[in-house]
Amino acid sequence: MNGNILKEQKSVGFIGLGNMGHGIASNLLKAGYTTRVYNRTKEKAKDLVEQGAILVNQPSDVIESGGIVFTMLFDDSALREIAEVDENFVKKLHPGGIHVSLSTVSPDTARSLSAHHSQNGVTYLAAPVIGRPDRAAAGTLFILLAGSVEAKQIVSPFLEKISQRVFDFGDLPWSSNMAKLAFNFNIAAAIEAMAESFTLAEKNGIPRAKMAELLSETLFSGVVYKGYGDLIAHHSYQPGGVPLMLGWKDIRLVLQTAADSSTPMPIASLLRDRLLSAISKGRGDLDWSALALGASDDAGLGK
């Protein structure tokens, strides 16, 4: 890889303009980078084009030899379809190009893509993000970055434009995917813990919302307890955030990763049973905090 040339690059490719990708690409444009974008549904690119983005017809058309390409795709298979199955992807990036994968995918997928890219003279950086679409649009995401040191340096100026902070998880790309799974596990565990304690309160005459307030306005002041606390207090699980089916996919990956490394995780096992139960009861499309209904069901309280 010729770092000197790369460092002078002022253009970037971007594949995947969903709720998250659109906001991120927009921030790259605002930062003055020439941005070639691709999305399956062209309409989503309309306002970006008005801001100066170059819309192309094929995913690999956003790529320049030795350049940088970001992907923000729905899941593992969508990512692999574009970056592994389609041979043009690495052929066009070669030599020395960098693929920054922003999606939350499994460590196995990261491992596979990393090996595949490396064999084709291209570098894979895993960069899953923490934050919802509003943070993506505001450029205040958190990024979990892992991969080759040199490549990380090269993409650093780009990442600064789209995030408030980058956490470095070392040389092995899949480490940041692993960390993202472990992070999401903590969210689900907090949901279940709140659900149990709010149910205990409710059964004893204390308003659920009062318990939520007590947590989030004292020693649990983070976004997770505040945001999910409100949802769980009012059993407000309308679709909109992370669908429960998708949350289940994450916990399933946590458990698979735990099994592969022989790590017992009893709360993860409990979450598994909570999520499967919710799916059995037809709650798969609700926000994943609907796993909290399990504690209420068990206690003989209807929704």
For the annotated catalytic residues, the residue numbers are 180
Of 158, 175, 250, 287, the one binding its own copies (CB under 8 A) is 175
Query: Which residue number, 50 or 266, has a Cβ lying nearer to its own copies?
Result: 266
Smallest gap from Cβ 109 to its own copies, in A, equals: 15
210 exposed, middle or buried (CB, 10 Å; 0-12, 13-18, 19+)?
exposed
Of 40, 46, 203, 234, the one binding its own copies (CB under 8 A) is 203
237 binds its own copies (CB under 8 A): no
261 binds its own copies (CB under 8 A): yes
232 binds its own copies (CB under 8 A): no
302 binds its own copies (CB under 8 A): no
59-118: contacts with its own copies (CB under 8 A): 107
Of 78, 182, 209, 242, the one binding its own copies (CB under 8 A) is 182
Query: Which residue number, 17 or 255, has a Cβ lying nearer to its own copies?
Result: 255
Contacts of residue 20, Cβ cutoff 8 Å, sequence gap at least 6: 72, 102, 129, 133, 136
Backbone angles phi, psi at 101, to 5 degrees: -95, 110
217 binds its own copies (CB under 8 A): yes
Query: Which residue number, 56 or 193, has a Cβ lying nearer to its own copies?
Result: 193
Q: Which of 85, 242, 256 is nearest to 181 (CA)?
A: 256
178 binds its own copies (CB under 8 A): yes
State whether residue 123 is helix, strand or coil: strand
Q: Rounded to whole angstroms, how far apart are CA atoms 157 and 122?
A: 19
State whether residue 204 is helix, strand or coil: coil
Query: Which residue number, 55 or 258, has a Cβ lying nearer to its own copies?
Result: 258
CA angle 229, 239, 233 (to 5 degrees): 20
Q: Please name the amino acid found at residue 118.
A: S
